[in-house]
A and B are shown apart, each in its own frame.
Chain A
Amino acid sequence: MADEDDKGKRKTPAAAGAPPKLDRRDLLMGLSTVPALGLFGYAWSRQQQSRRGTEATAATTRPAADLQEINVALLGAGAQGQVLMEAMLRIPGLRFRAVCDIWTEYNLRRVVNTLKRFKQEPNGYEDYREMLDKEKELDAVIVATPDFWHAQHTIEALKAGKHVYCEKEMSNTLEGARSMLLAQRETGKLLQIGHQRRSNPRYIHAYQKLLGEAKLLGRIVTVNGQWNRAVAPDLGAPDRYAIPAAKLKQYGFTDMQQFRNWRWYKGLGGGPIVDLGSHQIDIYNWFLGANPSGVMASGGLLYHDPKTHQWHDTVMVIYDYDTPLGPAKAYYQTQTTNGSQGYYESFMGDQGTLLISESELNYPGQLYRDPNAPVWDEWVQKGYISAPKELEAKQQTGSGAVADVRESVAPDQHAVPVSLRDPYHQPHLQNFFDAVRGKAALNCPAEIGYESAVSVLKVNEAIDAKCRLPFTPDDFRS
């Protein structure tokens, strides 16, 4: 094998102490793997092209490249603001002009830097008023600040002549939400509230096709839904990046702990029932075609440290509804001590059940046909639902557990054949920008956001009242 030594010729001079020369062979061998990098570059660019191609196909309904750019500002660059930013970076025709966040050393810097990597040139601001003053050409403002700032930020942006996409919950108070609605009416600008399931293709399919056209569930009598979330540590902040106490106070926070974990504090957020529940209770109202007529609730701070948590970590709610088809009851629970079974909404009618969630993994849309319901073959053929998968027979040989007359026959299980491959918030933002261009109506305008806020904020009242609180139709008007 030593004969095959490629430096065989050089052995002698090396042994003699003379350093080897860099010959042509060394250069060739030295550069021999460079072409592999070129090959990588080629593969990479083809891959990027094909990815863009896939995204373009998925976006066939979107208008083409001759879009007039919409100038947007992101007000609130925290966790949720970053989720929205990521979704917006995938939407063509947007120009980020400004980003505003009071955590200038961290959130603001991070988001501005990320946007720069995507060839955007946003100006960074700490003060939203200064931003609204200076950025005259803004068309739209995306509000992703803590709930107790929503009203002020949204109203001032509307009054400055901007269209607004405001994260849910619309506000932490009814007065705040109402004043936003009034400001929207007064200015005539668009105000979309971030209940993003309203634009999710699976939910739209379920509402329009499965419930509306095919009426697969019959009459919905009960609803059940939940968001179970596992214990999570409080969000921290490094001392190095701490916001000075005076500035925190100016913006309504007592310290960094509160600033980072505002969702748990009274006067700032609404607790898990508002953060998580409002998404799903909004769907109850939508799918049932009614606002609730009454609510009972029980909740408490059962687990978390009361020093740093003020809102209920566990909430169980029962709503009464008078739907166009008759009365219904809807249960909802959220807890933050155990994440098993995650989140879903389950609508149970006399002909079938729809189990649905925003998640593509856990409950991506299942339908169960009640055995006494008319067959669903027509809807399978139309592609509204998948062919049924018959549930495993309950009878098992050798098992003592045998289906008897007390049990209903297991229903067939179908799937909702619609999924969302984009980030969850993208369709809802797309709907907002389509509306800004005058090409769509908002899927969650201020009125709907307000009705949802009325339904949800009442839960915390009902927990304190320890009794059923009625809603009147007037509660939902402003």
Chain B
Amino acid sequence: MEATTFVRAPMIAITALRVLVGWHFLYEGLTKLTAPSWTAAGYLKQAKGPVAEQFRWLTTRPDLLANADLITMWGLTIVGVCLMLGLFTRLASLIGIGFILLFYLAAPPWIGYFYAIPSEGSYLIVNKNLVELSALVVILLTGSGRFAGLDRILHGLIRRKPRLAAA
């Protein structure tokens, strides 16, 4: 990132995208955190696709499930805050991609997969999870936090250190 150059208009758009995705993550996380005892068990039991077995197995292990619940609740919340602030943007995007990949795989809208409870739209292979995932890939690769976000300050501070040490 030595010679990072940012083209202004697209970077503003990507920053807006980052804030919106972060907002969604944060709200998903906070609603789970504030529900009396939210658990992914119901969702996991309905899982389909190549890793459905593993998801269902998870629901039979209360200790692992409790950890998965905690990781999901806090993970979504923290990733959300980081994305909104542009803090540790690339790490947060990477973790966010991981979460969404799991959500996508738990209920993949693949050919021949049908779901009893209708979602708000119609999807074939591509659903909103996948779109949000690719949005995070864009955020990851463009380093939007260093354009507009706390990463820019953080980056500046770290970059200054050697000079201060030398002085």
Contact = CB atoms under 8 A, between A and B. Distances in A.
Contact of B19 (A2, A19, A33, A118): A33
B7 A241 contact: no
B156 to A, nearest CB: 4
Interface stretch (B98-106, B122-130, B131-139, B158-166): B158-166
B37 interface: yes
Contacts of B85: 33-34, 37
Contact of A44 (B27, B84, B160): B27
A22 to B, nearest CB: 4
B148 interface: yes
B7 A1 contact: yes
Contacts of A238: 61-64
Interface string A42-54: 0010000000000
A26 interface: yes
Nearest to B5: A5
A15 B61 contact: no
B84 A22 contact: no
B6 A19 contact: no
Interface residues of A, number: 41
B52 interface: no
Given A5-B6, A31-B150, A106 B162 contact: no
A21 interface: yes
B81 interface: yes
A238 B58 CA distance: 12
A402 interface: no
Given A33-B19, A236-B62, A114 B150 contact: no
B160 A21 contact: yes
A36 interface: yes
Per DSSP, are chain B's interface residues mostly helix, strand or loop, or mixed?
Answer: helix
Contacts of A237: 62
Interface string A9-49: 00100110001111000110111111011001000100000
Contact of A235 (B22, B26, B60): B60
Given A26-B156, A32-B148, A5 B23 contact: no
A7 interface: yes
Contact of B149 (A20, A33, A234, A240): A33
A241 B36 contact: no
A106 B147 CA distance: 46
A89 B36 CA distance: 8
B4 interface: yes
B160 A19 contact: yes
A11 B2 CA distance: 10
B61 A22 contact: no
A30 B152 contact: yes
Contacts of A234: 60
B93 interface: no
A40 B84 contact: yes
B26 A5 contact: no
A4 interface: yes
B6 A240 contact: no
Contact of A5 (B2, B7, B81): B7
B9 A29 contact: no
Contacts of A26: 152-153, 156
A30 B2 contact: no
> Which 8 A-B pairs rank lowest in CB-CB distance, beginning with the nearest?
A22-B156, A30-B153, A238-B63, A30-B152, A86-B36, A32-B148, A36-B19, A19-B159
Interface of B: 2-9, 11, 15, 18-19, 22-23, 26-27, 30, 36-37, 60-64, 66, 81, 84-86, 147-154, 156-157, 159-160, 162-163
Given A26-B156, A114-B36, 7 more contacts: A7-B4, A14-B2, A26-B152, A29-B148, A37-B85, A44-B27, A235-B60
15 contacts: A6-B6, A6-B8, A7-B6, A26-B152, A27-B153, A30-B151, A30-B152, A36-B22, A44-B27, A86-B36, A89-B36, A118-B36, A236-B62, A238-B64, A240-B63
